Amino acid sequence: MIVILCALFPEAAPLIQKLCLARDTARTPFPRFWNQGISLYLSGPGEIAAAACTGFALGREETLSSLHLVNFGSAAGPENRAGELFLADALLETGTGRRFYPDLVLDAKIPEAAVRTCQKPADRDTVAGANDGAVRPVLFDMEAASICEAAMHFLGPDRIHFLKFVSDAGGEVSLTQETLLSLSEAPLADVLSYLSLIRRAQKEEKKSVPAVDEEALEKLSSLFCCSVAMKERLSVLLHWCALSGRDFEGEVKARMETGVLPAPNRREGKKVFDDIERTLTMGD
């Protein structure tokens, strides 16, 4: 699953169209658009709305194990970089001074920038001052750091991504919806490539994690009359056998045939379990 958060509809519209996302008709506090494997939410502008939306979007997901979160939207930045897309590698919440560093573990060819998140739109002097003589671009937005802070309650820093395009140089001039829409269309190809990289990473993760058969664990646990601690040992042994190609099932079958299993009580079960563990882990 990839969860995309955008503050405003014009920022999200090109993605909604390109990814064929359908409006979720259920009543939710934040508008949601979705398709297989992707949910896009509109948080509304500002830090509090963005953090609330992050909590809502991630909190309702049943499994977070391979979920990635992408914040896509506009930011103020250097005048000569207008329209460019950046990947944020450092975030600063200007009110608290808290800093966040997403892990950039995907080999994306997108230039990077620092992002400062403010409660109000940054003025022109602030944006220019931060970028004057700076080696790296400094962008200003109203959501990224708060999204990151909220998301880190759910996800690791390698699963939180910030893609920001420069919409203006700061100041009082408010962008029209049409301008914002056209600016957010420009980097669409790069954003879609980035989403593909995330999907590839998700596939890799799925390949590398062996499945845990909870049902088999329960059955075996009752076979041995396991205590809580012994069930934990059983779980470790099963996992190790699966990884190292040891035949746990064969050992159990052999003991079923001789009538040692199912064990009549916990004490006898432990004896049989110890015997199997010893056979499997110390037999060369």
Partner 1 sequence: MISSAHSPWETDPLYPKKFSHIYVEEAVRDDPVTKKILAVFPDAEKVPIVHYKDVFNRRRQNVSLQHKCQNLILAKRSGSAVFPGAPVCQSFGNEHFYYCSSVMNCLCNCSYCYLKGMYPSGNLVIFVNLSDIFAEVEALLAKFPVYLCVSYDTDLVPLEDLIGYVDRWCRFVREHENLSIEIRTKCGRTDLYEKLPKTDRVIFAFTLSPEKIAESYEKGAGTLSQRLQAARSAQEAGFPIRLCFDPMLYIPGWEGMYAAMLDEAAAAIDLATVLDFSVGTFRISDEYLKSMRRQERENALVWYPFARKDGYCQYPTELAGRMESFLAGRLREMCEGAKIFFWEGGTA
Residues forming the site for partner 1 (CB under 8 A): 89-90, 99, 101, 103-107, 112, 114, 135-136, 152, 155-158, 200-201, 204, 208-210, 233, 236-237, 239-240, 243-244, 277-278, 281-282, 284
**82 or 280, CB closer to partner 1?**
280
Q: Which is nearer to partner 1, 26 or 282 (by Cβ)?
A: 282
User: CA 62 to CA 1: how far, in whole Å?
Assistant: 11
Write down the least CB distance from residue 154 to partner 1, Å: 9
Tokens of 200: 């590839």
Paired strand residues for 161: 70
* Nearest CB to partner 1, comparing residues 49 and 220: 220
**For partner 1, which is the closer residue by CB, 60 or 278?**
278
Q: Is the peptide bond before 264 cis (omega within 30 degrees of 0)?
A: no
Q: Minimal CA–CA distance to 117: which of 185, 52, 164, 54?
A: 164
CA pair distance 59, 4, nearest whole angstrom: 14
CA dist., res. 223 & res. 82, Å (int): 67
Of 103, 112, 93, the residue nearest 46 (C-alpha): 93
